[in-house]
Structure 1
């Protein structure tokens, strides 16, 4: 049998950025559906994967509360649940495009996914304990740990109390109608819609309410915007997703035949919704409004497309920018910061048309 006689099924694969710990992104042309399958969901880790079993698992809620509690897995999954469809985007997404270059995982555009998450609202869990007057933040400790700056630490992050009590913030046990996979936070992970992925702590073990500001290394050192190369002046924390977009087709530096081609991609934002997406074929001199395929929804990306007639023997810079309901848009130049977070410069691909 010749190879041409067989049906060859191509399976998409994640792109590996590092092996230890495992960090992998999704090729963006595979993000075709509104829900990203678990095997294609990007993976972001600071430490090796922890090993956690349901039999020995307990979630503790403690700190500045009236009644600390310890809950078993079965107790939590029997509680009233909420389902949230939301993107999760690594704050370092598109880091590879910063100029001048910055250190860190060199993500291109695929450190983003969209999933259906089911779990118990965090506010419901906190209602069991009661919150003392003066509470300011809620800290979430994950089961993953390792060396950082010469010390063994767990991945640990906090949310302001107001955000923690948002009914859409959940302690999830399901991802896309299946139990969380071990690589995406089993048995529980926090889901914080509208915030970059560092807030959605995986392998959740302890929830702690504080009456002061949390200053762990992943709160005060990492996931902070440092606008200056050699000093901490004017720094501020990474929180909500910035308005952004990607061009999925055509691909950068692709050679196409003359004629009509569809340009397509995704757009999203952290607060509010996407209101419009514009495209330019003349280096930003003029802009046209693209077609949005869906009604924009909070916390979710929207698919867009635009058909254009390309002339033979030409090169084109295709530029795209998104706008949201808070009046924000992608800037012409990304906000450079020392750790390379929040890149959302106007999206662009260059293509060539055959003679």
Structure 2
């Protein structure tokens, strides 16, 4: 930075603000579905949320401090820490400069029209739309500009896709949310009576917007278009639904796949990686009609 500065809380909150509705998803969401199994929190489909965040665009702060020639990445340090490489390490993550100056990247102090709660990162939280939640550093205390590639352990050890179980060849960082979906109703393994039932859920993607959601009630043999409730918005999930008449005494395998404006769709099989990040295989549930 050309001009390092320290800001008080009331200075930050009096700066130009931006409010953005953003989906935040844990990079380990759906980890429980990987096969072979991987270590880590065995999330199914609920490690995500969506909310309205208000703060100052990071690009505005950087315009005040200025950037030296050769600036490459912006590093964010939170107040939380953990043991990494046998020593206490603050949680630090970086963003490449091109992403950091995106006008939608903000330093938030408000969530859903209320001051940030402690669990959401009070007093400040970085919000990085379109990237998995680890990028949105909580309890933010310092921001610094570097002229090299950041190599902190929470960036180059954790939150990395490792394609192999026994070595690190071909590894690459976790960044953008994968295109994904989830079935909310009915529940997996639910028992229902014969007749018409509505299948509903959510779909989302990292960049671009969801353009279509397809559903199959016959284990993928045939597909039909689901109804998307509202006009898709960037960095937000869409709600979808589809009604079907189910016949008695049958087990149905219901599958759902989403498509986005960048030509991406959910794969038949997720990209396996040993830390269990980014599971986005075609969503599937089974129901029994009595």
Normalising to structure 1: TM-score of the pair?
0.81
Q: Which residue of 2 aligns with 1:119?
A: 55
Residue 149 of structure 2, aligned match among 199, 202, 213:
213
Q: Which residue of 2 aligns with 1:271?
A: 207
Q: What CA distance in whole angstroms lies between the structure 1 residues aligned with 2:250 and 2:33?
A: 25
Find the residue that maps to 2:7 and give its secondary structure.
strand
Residue 228 of structure 1, aligned match among 155, 164, 168:
164
Q: Which residue of 1 aligns with 2:5?
A: 69
Give the drift of 1:205: 0.4
Q: Which residue of 2 aligns with 1:92?
A: 28
Structure 1, unaligned runs of 5 or more:
1-64
Give the drift of 1:128: 1.0
Give the drift of 1:286: 1.0
Residue 247 of structure 1, aligned match among 175, 183, 204:
183
Structure 2, unaligned runs of 5 or more:
none
Find the residue that maps to 1:198 and give its secondary structure.
helix
Q: Which residue of 1 aligns with 2:221?
A: 285
Q: Which residue of 2 aligns with 1:350?
A: 286
Normalising to structure 2: TM-score of the pair?
0.99
Residue 264 of structure 2, aligned match among 325, 328, 348:
328
Find the residue that maps to 1:183 and give its secondary structure.
helix
Give the drift of 1:146: 2.7
Q: Which residue of 2 aligns with 1:148?
A: 84
Matched ranges for 1:99-138 at <5 A: 99-138=35-74
Work out whether 1:299 is the aligned partner of 2:235. Answer: yes
Higher relative contact order (CA 8 A, sep 6+): 2
Give the drift of 1:113: 0.2
Q: What CA distance in whole angstroms lies between the structure 2 residues aligned with 1:336 and 1:81?
A: 40
Q: Which residue of 2 aligns with 1:319?
A: 255
Give the drift of 1:149: 3.1
Q: Deviating runs (4+, > 6 A) in structure 1?
A: none
Aligned residues: CA RMSD: 0.5
